[in-house]
Amino acid sequence: MRFHFKTSYDQDIRLFPDGWNLAVYSALLLFMLALPLMLDSFFLGEVTNVLIWAIAGLGLMLLTGQTGQISLGHSAFMALGCYTCVLLMEAGMPFILAFLLAGIITGVVGGLIAVPALRLHGVYLAIATLALAIIADDIIVMLSPWTGGVNGKFAPDIVIFGLEVNRWVNPEYWYYLALAVALLVTLIYRNLLRSPLGRAFAAVRDSEVSAQAMGVDVARTKTVAFGLSCAITGLGGALMGLFAGAFNNETFNFLLAIQLLMMIVVGGLGFIHGAFLGAIVVAFLPQGLSIFTDTLGRGYQIPGLEIGVFGMILVLFLIFEPMGLYGRWLKIRIWLELFPFARRDMFRRQKSYLKTERVR
């Protein structure tokens, strides 16, 4: 067990709690940098897909996990980020500038949509955002002169400082690009949680009434959270479309938004680690099921197997481990640290709302 002797309040908001955490994450970063030397192109592509899913998951985690606002429409913002980035690149803009501008535009549009949408609460907000995701599919088809409609679009070549980033020619470049974006988004997310705005997000999540009593502008906090969440998710959508090479309206349908929400729930709602753990499940589950069906016989297919298995996993986590994979790891770690003094009811779930919240 490690003990933290704190002598100032600044130690509560440090980026790394202690030198041990800094060493662990430094070693993890070195391992990730050396990963292309250990894997072939197929598995490297799968890890790249995990990073892209994690970026999109961090966007939704900021809204749902930190602010407590459920959204089932983030697939629309993934599509907006992807099409905006591609259109800007086709207009002659460099990739880095087009990529960053796509995130900014997506965030601004998300903030504008949040103004009326966030007047709703709970399941009503989820239904409203789900309707947005369904409408986005039709909007993409109607704007076919720009989006390509059902025929879709092909991703343009990515050139960064004279280096061509191609999934099939040099997959390690794509991996390092996704890794750099994931690290940047994670640092922004982590520093945001340490700021007063991040504390306001947590206050709104736990109790809007109490947050308002403490002087937090609830409407403004929700709008900013929605805009930042959409910006990060838009970056993930841009990478997802460019990595796929071709995309259309079916690429970003509303099932993607539901899958994104289930991903952060399985990984661990409210934890940065949860986005990455959930991304591993989402990215590798189809491959695992494909290997499983191949063992049953060539050409053997089970319709709806992937959705059914993922739904079963979600139900099991909601019943037995609502804190997700990372929550389970925290419980195991604390139990080992406190053994043999750990109590059975230490992790009993408590009601996290006030009586004043029940009127919503």
**Confidence label for 359 from pLDDT (cuts 50, 70 and 90):** very low
Q: How far is CA 219 from CA 209, 230, 244, 350, in A?
A: 12, 17, 37, 27
b vs e for 178-211, b when ≥16 Cβ sit within 10 Å of the residue's Cβ?
bbebbeebbeebeeebeeeebebbebbbebbeeb
In a domain, 88, yes or no: yes
The CATH number for 319's domain is: 1.10.3470
In a domain, 208, yes or no: yes
Q: How far is CA 123 from CA 69, 73, 118, 258, 323, in A?
A: 10, 13, 12, 14, 20
Distance CA 262, CA 281 (A): 10
pLDDT digits (tens, 9 = 90+) for 89-148: 999 899 999 999 999 999 999 999 888 877 777 778 888 888 888 898 889 989 888 888
Residue 170's domain spans which residues? 39-349
* Top-confidence residue, 349 or 305: 305
Specify whether the CB–CB gap between 192 and 75 falls below 8 A: no
Single-letter code of the amino acid located at 68:
G
In a domain, 357, yes or no: no
- Computed over every residue of the chain, the mean pLDDT equals 86
> Residue 297: which residues within 8 A CB-CB, separation 6 or more?
none
Single-letter code of the amino acid located at 63:
L
Q: Which residue has the tokens 């403490």?
A: 214
Q: How far is CA 119 from CA 65, 115, 305, in A?
A: 19, 7, 38
Tally of structural domains, the chain: 1
Instruction: Please name the helix (run of DSSP H) or strand (run of DSSP E) that holds residue 130, with its range, or none.
Output: helix 123-142
In a domain, 78, yes or no: yes
pLDDT digits (tens, 9 = 90+) for 290-331: 777 777 766 567 777 777 888 888 888 888 888 889 988 888
**Confidence label for 348 from pLDDT (cuts 50, 70 and 90):** low
In a domain, 305, yes or no: yes
Coil vs helix vs strand at 158:
strand
In a domain, 20, yes or no: no
Q: 158-160 and 163-165 as β-strands: parallel, antiparallel, unpaired?
A: antiparallel
pLDDT of residue 46 exceeding 70: yes
In a domain, 197, yes or no: yes
* Top-confidence residue, 244 or 13: 244
